[in-house]
A and B are shown apart, each in its own frame.
Chain A
Amino acid sequence: SSNEHKLNFKKSKEACLSYIQDALLQKQWKRAAEFLTCYVESLEKDYSREHIGPSEMIWRIGTEILWHHSQSSMKEFNCFMEQMKTLGVKRYLKVCLEHVFHLLCNGQIDEAYQNLSLAESWRFGEQTAIQDKEMKLIQAYRGLLDYCSWSKQKNILLEHGEDGFADLAVEQEMHGYFRKAAVNLKEIIKIPGVWDVFVKCYVDLLEFYGDHNEARQVLNEYAYNSKFPANPNAHVYLYQFLKRQGESKKSLISALKILHDIVPSHELMIDFNTMLQKSKKRKKRRLGLEVIFAALDYAGWKENAKAWSCLARQVKQIVISEKHLDWIKQEWNSRKDWWPAFHFSRYLAKRNWQENKSLSYEKALVAGILLGKDCKYFKYVSHQGCKAQLKRFRMLKKFVTRHNPVYLRISG
């Protein structure tokens, strides 16, 4: 009966698919390609109402095979993609995007640009929400490529400008790219998302043409709009922009303070700490200590010699001045039950000493002050340092021994 036939057809289709899958997962591209030619038949009787229909499967599998097959060429790939675009209206934009990505990754920027322009002009009835998003992405990527061309022209102009030779046509062309890029980039960064590349490019354009207010507004929106994800890069871009603009310390600090609040382990925290340490205000220096302590809480910072030296410097300052020991005490309070095992174990002392002497020096200083001269880490490092006749380690030992009472006050 026809029903049985349908069932059998479905069964053999499934079997074929599983063979393909198996071949793909074992990198047997040729075998997969052979099976795929059989699978194409499934397009004929596509009764399925599944999430991913046969045409999409063929597109995905075919693409994967052509990426890896030893005998495939870019020409074949383009040809395949063109066919796939006509296979499903709903997927047209997605296939276009993927095609462009592949061209871009293979350095065929111009072809990619052509494809993007073509896709942009595509119209088919009413667009679904997903298609709308894809269209926006297509436009954004075109904007990005326009930006790349603009940047290229700009470099040419700058090079020639030094020679005192300005080409009006090149300049005109450059401004044209600017307009095209700006329009498209501006659109996408209004929608909530992660648009690091597009934002960077757009801000670069605006800055070049002196539209700092617009740039600032874009960056502020990107960083502070609550509909956007809490992207640390948004704050970094804002901070870098403010720095370029020569803004006051205060606004730089406030930008970094927000970054500190959302990502205490960001690498800019070292800059932040240095900035705060230099400040004359007590409150800021206090914040600096907090920032560096918080950064060193994270496993990724465990062996960051720069951060340890920041902490060591500030702790040393406080100990010498004997003012604000309560700052250290407060910071130490929430850490004294786990920092010793996390940072100052004997095992780590050994390892740090073997791998990075200056790191172990900074850490030993901090350990000596926070945990006293009897702490394992300090004892091991200072002993090794003295044995190796290193002067700074002898100084370190003296310093810690002299200030040992501090430890009692901190931990008390």
Chain B
Amino acid sequence: SDTKVMTCAAVWRMPKELESGSHESPDDSSSNTQTLELLCHLDNTAHGNMACVMWEPMGDGKKIISLADNNILLWDLQESSTKAVLSSSAALEGKGQLKFTSGRWSPHHNCTQIATANDTTVRGWDTRSMRQIYCIENAHGQLVRDLDFNPNKQYYLASCGDDCKVKFWDTRNVTEPVKTLEEHSHWVWNVRYNHSHDQLILTGSSDSRVILSNMVSISSEPFGHMVDDDELSDQEDQHQEEKIKEPLQDSVIATYEEHEDSVYAVEWSSADPWLFASLSYDGRLVINRVPRALKYHILL
């Protein structure tokens, strides 16, 4: 009958028990399945398929941006989030049928910037004026699949795409990527910065692999964790100096091959910075830890 497929977006509330950091045993949660409470729909009938929805990274959680086909929609949640009002929007104009594939809201600059991806291009937008502020043409050889902002360095942006590459950009100078990773053997679907240690980069790809990389050279701590001199004895001091002198090398920390099919999502835990999960087409959710040795290396 109705042969149209429409991607929509809605705002949901998580069950209270889960929200308050559950202490229940796994048995409990599986026995009585919690259901989400629908708060409101983001009405996109005029704008096309929703490709991406983003919460404002800081603030009171009243602002949402969604990408629908070639539109950027900024929503205000009102009346205790039961109503979403479109507060402003912008449309990407250009040749052909442009569609956003992905977007990311920058936590920097007082949350006034977002980055979007369409086809091989990455664009930055100012949410106050809803105007484009930068544009990386041909950021990837093929489709750009995902973006992420460095949580600690305000101009740094990671992107990944169908050319099997992960690229790191400085949005002040977009002619060349700062760094390029070519570790995957198929499309890279996700790239994620660790929330607190931005040298840790997680990528998931349809080659069924998850790769954890250590991009020290372009992180906010390029010489490792800085320790105040006072806290160190002489011996340690010497040791520390040696460590500082040696610039740390970017490297792949680990390749996780637990998945048997394409990995479509990877995410860091918001509670524990050393924990991450990946989800693949074969229905497998894998949770991994950052290797202990690396953890201590970063912390100490």
A and B bind: no
Q: B residues near A, CB below 8 A?
A: none
